[in-house]
Every structure is written in C-alpha cells, then in structure tokens.
Structure 1
C-alpha cells in the first residue's frame, strides 16, 4: 500500500511539473504583468495625501477661528510681546508723567484715564478679536518668523512653501464644509502644484534644507514629488 501511494504521489508531481513546463510564455508574461500592476496599484493607493499634512510643532503654533480665543497676549499688525509691554503698560505712565494735568485732575486720575485708553487699543489689536483674514495674516507672519533664514525673509523657498501650506490647510478645511465650492477647489489644486514646484526647486538647491522643510511641514516626499493628483 505504501509503495502504491508513493507511486501515485510521484505521478501527481510529474503531472504538475509537466503542466508548469507547458505553460505558454505569453501566459507567464501576462501573469507577471498582472503582478506588477497589482504592486503599482497598491503603491499608488498608499501614497500620502498632497493636501492633508501631518501634525507638527509648526502647525501647532498657528491659530484658527476656533483656537484664537486662547491667544492671550497675541496681537495683530506685527505687534510683539515687547511692543505690548511698551504700549499698554509703560506708555500710560509716560504720558501721565509728561502731561500737566495737576490743575484739572490728580495724577492718579490721569493715569487711570490713560490706562483705559491703552486697554481699548489693546482690545482692538488683540488677535482674540481678529476676523478670519487677520488671523491668516498673523499665520503668514508666523511662517516668516519660523522658516525665514534672516529677519523679514519673505522670499526663501521654505517661507513660500510654508505660506502655501498654511493656505492649503485653511482652504481644505473650508472645502470640507463647502464641497460644491468649485472655484476654491481649483484654487486648492493650483496651490498644491505651486508648492510642489517650489519644493522641487528647494530640493535641487539643497537636499538638507528640503528634507528639513518637509519634516516641519508634515509632508512626505511622495506627497509632493512626481505626478500629483488632488
């Protein structure tokens, strides 16, 4: 019985080998092409989004209409914390000291009046009271401060890519709520491709700067290189 079973197994093996040996070259090529196509499809499917970036410390430092209420001691129009101390704390006292108000009112009353004026201005320029456009302008200034290679740098590829990334994220958030907004969808696609060109230029100029920029912007090379479909 064992001998008969072994003989049967041997014949089955021979039959399988013959079938494989007789497989037509065209069939083999067809199967290989199918495997390659499956690999390419899976590779494209796993490609990271060219729009949605990963969270990074840079994005965490920005503000939106939802987070701006927590932006204490943050101001519009490029005012820094040092400017705020000068304008809203030291200036009222300085104005009081040089104003001859003793005839009409006491120094304390004069200082209180000047402080009230300063508080009104402080509320006006506070980022907490800013509209969406002002918040975006503040975020653009943040891009310059974060990525600029020197003070006031607005032209370096990193700054330009960062500004576009901020606008892309803002527009993407808008389109999530307004899916039929075709005009802004075209604008989004245009900005994504524009950023890709800037990053390509940066890569050719300095691979180190390119990799650092991508990391800080939460982007993977595959998201901004080659054919980009938005």
Structure 2
C-alpha cells in the first residue's frame, strides 16, 4: 500500500490556497507577477485587454459608397480623355507635320522637288559646264600645218568623232554627278545645303523683318563724351550658325532617322534622343529671342513644327 499523506501537510496546503483567495485583488496581482526565473505569464495583460474600450464602427451606406466609386471612375476616364486630347493638340515631338519642304527632305523624295543646280560630290552645275567646255577645247582636233590632199575630209571626220565622244563623255559625267545615283548620305548632305539656303539669314533678311538688335558693347572716348555703339560687322559667306538653320538641319536628320529606326537599334535611338533634345533647346531659345516673330512663324510653317517639340518634357 502507498504511504499515507499526513494530515498536517494536507491541512497546510488547504490553508495556503484559502489564504491566497482571501487576499485583495491588488495583492494577488502583485503575487502573480511574471517570474524572472521561470518567465511565467500572468493573466494581468488579458484583463487589461478586456477592460479596453472598443471602437464603435461608423455605419457606411453601401449606396453612397458605390456612388463615390462611380464618380471617381468617371473622373479618371475623363482625365484620360483630356490628356489624350492635349497630347494630340501638341503633336508628335519627333516627326514633323507634312509640308512641301519637309516632304522634299525625305530620302525617297523625287528629284524633281529639288533644283537642277544640285549635283553630287559637292559639284555645281556652272562649274561642271565650264569644265566640260574646257575639256572640249583641249581635245578638239586641230588642222594640220602642212595640209595634203584629203586633209580636210579627214579633219571633218575627226571633228564628228570628237563631237560624238564628247557628247557621250558629258552624258556619262552628268549621270555620275546626278542625284539619282546618290546614296542616302549624299541626299542628307544636299538637304543640309538646302536648309542653309532656305533659312540662312543671308537670304531671309531681304524678305523677313530684322530681329531685335542685341545690346552692343559701348565704349567712351572720354568721360564727357557720349557713348558710341560698336557697329556690327557684315556677314561674310553663308549663314550656318543661326538657330533657325540649325533647327532645319536637325529636323531633316531627325525625320530620316526616325523613319529608318529599328526596335533594337539602341545607338541610333540614343542619337535620335540627343538630336531631339538639342532641337528643343534651340526652339525654346529662338522663341524666347524672336518672341513669336516672323522668323519663328517662318520655320514653323515650312518645317511643320509642333508645340510638343519645345514644350514640356520629351521622353522617347
């Protein structure tokens, strides 16, 4: 048989529990605090959570919530439509609107859109004609110093042969120098020359009103003398540095490159991005300086430029 527990031990246990139950709540909570040795969790945090005040949820009308969502979706759809209309009104930031001058700058444009004076290899029609006449004079047969019987007939035959060979040579030379056999690189070079002649200030100053005069350096001969403005020297040669000429040249290059750009051609895409941003800076500068004057209107109408090319941020 198991040993019997003495009655004294049982009475002491019962006396301990009854003593703990008879203690007040504050003492009992202090007695049941977390022990640092055994990390025993008590019921005090649970009681604190129960005693917290619960937040009362506000009543939400499902019909009003549905109406608010419907209004939001309608506003977002309207914003998309307005954004698309604004982008459409601004135009394409890369390609120009089709104009006669822009169409003639394309790589596949017919030669009839260009002047006949444009030739390949940096040649000019007058220089080619002079060279042909000089070569004909050099190769033309001369009469003999001591004529013999039948010399005149032989001379006439030689002259006919020379004229036929000269005609064939001149046709061959003009065909070689013609733009019909030119590459896209040669066409681009010719288009650059056309832009310089079309928008250069050495030609447009006669038709368009002069721009605003910039402030020149002022010098004084003495303290009491009046200020004398330094005169601007006249331009020598063709104008290649004005902003309208640079804008026209960049537009010609951008249109050709954008039409022939492939999806994976990253180097040319970077080159296109750089030219577009450079043109944007030049257009903003010209509009700021000319203030929407005749020079600005001239390039906008002839080159088919859009507001998206100089307004805001351009991302390709």
Length-normalised TM-score, structure 1: 0.71
- Runs (5+) with no aligned partner, structure 2: 1-63, 145-153, 203-236
Deviates more, 1:79-88 or 1:214-223: 79-88
Matched residues in 2 for 1:56 and 1:91: separation?
42
Matched, 1:227 2:313: yes
Q: Number of residues paired by the alignment? A: 197
2:252 to 166, 176, 185: 166
Q: Distance in 2 between matches of 1:83 and 1:57?
A: 29
Match of 2:18 in 1: none
Distance 1:179 1:214, change over 3 A: same
| Structure (1/2) with the larger helix percentage | 1
Q: Deviations over 1:109-158 (max 9, x none)?
A: 22332333222221211111111211111111111111111162211111
Report the CA distance shift for 1:149/1:165 in structure 2 as closer, same or farther (over 3 A). Answer: same
Q: Distance in 1 between matches of 2:127 and 2:104?
A: 20
Report the counterpart of residue 64 of structure 1 in structure 2.
107
| Whole-Å separation in 1 of the counterparts to 2:80 and 2:306 | 23
Work out which structure has the larger RCO, using CA pairs closer than 8 Å and 6 or more positions apart in sequence.
1
- The two structures, once aligned, show a CA RMSD in angstroms of 3.2
Question: Aligned match of 1:131 in 172, 175, 183?
Answer: 183
Q: Distance in 2 between matches of 1:187 and 1:221?
A: 22
Task: List structure 1 runs of 4+ shifted beyond 4 angstroms.
Answer: 34-40, 68-74, 80-88, 90-96
User: Are 1:101 and 1:110, in contact at CA under 8 Å, matched by a contact in 2?
Assistant: no
Q: Which of 1 and 2 has greater Rg?
A: 2
